[in-house]
A and B are shown apart, each in its own frame.
Chain A
Amino acid sequence: MEIAVTQAQGRVPVTVFRITGPITSNVELEAQAQAAYDAGARNLLLDLSEVPYIATYGLRALHFIYTLLRTSAPDESDAAVRKGIGDGTFMSPHLKLLKPTPHAMEALKVAGYDMFLEIHRDYDKALSTF
């Protein structure tokens, strides 16, 4: 798996990870996300158009990144987020996914990640939602 990191601009700065290869380990993706976070990144768009599939460890990494970006968003009340997750109405404003391949999409749907992570098909549109 390879990760190319670029910077983009929505209404706020957005760090874009373009991932190539299957996500079968959580280590590298979490480390890259942590490094980006430590460098100031607070909004992340993961381009999954070159990810043939996501294994369980990949889902673990996505949850890690979701939690990491939540820690710097104290304005979002825990209670509201909790309720939103429970109702299936909450979507993370800080972590979004772009163009997952069919297999990756299947893994996301099976695990219910599409219920708290926005999934976009268009890059510009995805950026504009940040």
Chain B
Amino acid sequence: MTKLSALSERVAALLRNVPLFAELAPDELAHLAGSLRLLRYPADTLLFVEGDAGDRLYIVLEGGVAIIKSLGSPDERLVNVRGGGEFIGEMSLLTGDGRRTASARVHGDSQLLELTSADFEALAASTPSLALQMLRVQSRRLRDAHDRTIRDLHEKNDRLAQAYAELQAAQAQIIAQETLRRELRLARDIQQSMLPRALPPLPGFEFGARMLPAQEVGGDFYDLFPLEGGRVGIAVGDVCGKGVPAALYMALTSSLLRAEAMRSVTPEQALRSLNRQLSSRGVESLFVTVLYGVLDPADSTFTYVRAGHEYPLAWARNGEVLHVPQGRSIPVGLFPEALLEQASLHLASGTTLLLFTDGVTEAHGAQHELLGHERLNELACRGGARPAAALCDELLAALAAHQGSSPQADDITLLAIRAL
């Protein structure tokens, strides 16, 4: 702290450059110089804090002072930085309650002049021009502060409106997703309801079947239905694709197949009719691999067509793998005319026949290794004869173990027929 009188020459020169005092007469300036103290502050010195009692104002000679509202709170806001020639801290002298309306922090190493409340009042009373000049500055600052407040409010309003719009969009998206999930659950229920509720009883045979879609709905299907003469129609199919398009095509295919099977004499006729029906609909690049056959308990013969579908597996009671005629054929829905060769297999007592979709052999583990046909052969045949449903569950458990934490990539369907 330095008394101004000791530095009169320098301070007088400095005061003349302060706009607030520009109109003071030399003697008034000399009087003022005697009332001021010169202060030096290093950068970041906290000059005063909002809410503190204040009884002096400061005039910035060199450096600057940052005016800060709500210092240290989440709402902290820099109001302004007062530089050389400007004054600060006048509000607490004018408002009457003597409280600081904002905090002030020195901005860079600075020199300030300090004027006490008593000296300020005396000076204002003796020098109306000074009071008027201060009033002008104060009015300008109030107007600026008002404008800034309005601007801040507008910005906050804009941000609030944007946040509200984003919230509305997010809510709409959540509702849409929930609606979609609900519809997919319903679609899954409908698709499951298209599978046989109970497998038909057939003396001398027993059946087991399982289907696990990779998504809510899938393109795999299986069907068993009674035909004339005590025979049973048996089908396993796989629409190329997954999700809703495959599920819709699966529904179409399984319905058409059952209808065609009912009025066809042979599986070949049924699949030819199905192929024509699907091809004529011209659904681009969708096709179905299907194995459809008729099991006749009278002679324990399974007569079937494998339309581009996985080769079935057959093994004897003791686990011995049996030869299964394949027949040449292509998937249905690819071409208006399809090569579909019929084959037949005698299911002697103790024989198990396993139909499946490629989701079984293409199930992959953590290192993307496929289960493959050889492994399926081992898993299925090794145990010899066992109840058909138990066999399916056993294979599903083995598949789950193979997949580990890897997601199921494709729909999985198993259908086992065991000759007792």
Quote the shortest CB–CB distance from B307 to chain A (angstroms). Answer: 8
Residues facing A in B38-93 (CB within 8 A) are none
Taken together as a complex, chains A and B put the C-alpha atoms of A56 and B370 apart, in Å, by 14
Q: Is B336 an interface residue (CB 8 A)?
A: yes
Q: What are the residues of chain A within 8 A of B311 when measuring CB–CB?
A: 110
Q: What are the residues of chain A within 8 A of B336 when measuring CB–CB?
A: 82
Total inter-chain residue pairs, C-beta < 8 Å: 65
The answer to whether B328 and A111 touch across the interface, beta carbons within 8 angstroms, is no
Quote the shortest CB–CB distance from B181 to chain A (angstroms). Answer: 25
Q: Is the interface of A mostly helix, strand, loop or mixed?
A: helix
Contacts known (A56-B238, A106-B373); A86 close to B308, Cβ less than 8 A: no
Enumerate chain A interface residues (CB-CB to B < 8 A). Answer: 24, 26, 53, 55-57, 59-60, 63-64, 67, 82-83, 85-88, 103, 106, 110-113, 115-116
Quote the shortest CB–CB distance from B127 to chain A (angstroms). Answer: 85
Q: What are the residues of chain B within 8 A of A115 when measuring CB–CB?
A: 328, 330, 339
Could you pull out 30 A-B pairs where Cβ atoms are within 8 angstroms?
A53-B362, A55-B410, A56-B238, A56-B240, A56-B289, A57-B240, A59-B240, A59-B331, A60-B241, A60-B285, A60-B287, A63-B285, A63-B334, A82-B336, A82-B337, A83-B337, A85-B335, A85-B339, A86-B337, A87-B339, A88-B339, A103-B370, A110-B309, A110-B310, A111-B308, A112-B308, A112-B329, A112-B331, A113-B330, A115-B330
Q: For residue A63, which residue of chain B has the nearest CB?
A: B334
Given contacts A53-B362, A82-B335, A115-B328, 19 further A-B contacts (CB under 8 A): A55-B358, A55-B362, A55-B410, A56-B241, A56-B358, A56-B410, A59-B331, A60-B240, A63-B334, A67-B285, A83-B337, A88-B328, A110-B308, A111-B331, A112-B307, A112-B308, A112-B329, A112-B330, A112-B339
Q: Count B-side interface residues using an 8 Å CB cutoff.
A: 28
Quote the shortest CB–CB distance from B91 to chain A (angstroms). Answer: 69
Taken together as a complex, chains A and B put the C-alpha atoms of A115 and B410 apart, in Å, by 26
Taken together as a complex, chains A and B put the C-alpha atoms of A83 and B338 apart, in Å, by 9
Enumerate chain B interface residues (CB-CB to A < 8 A). Answer: 238, 240-241, 285-287, 289, 307-311, 328-331, 334-339, 358, 362, 370, 373, 409-410
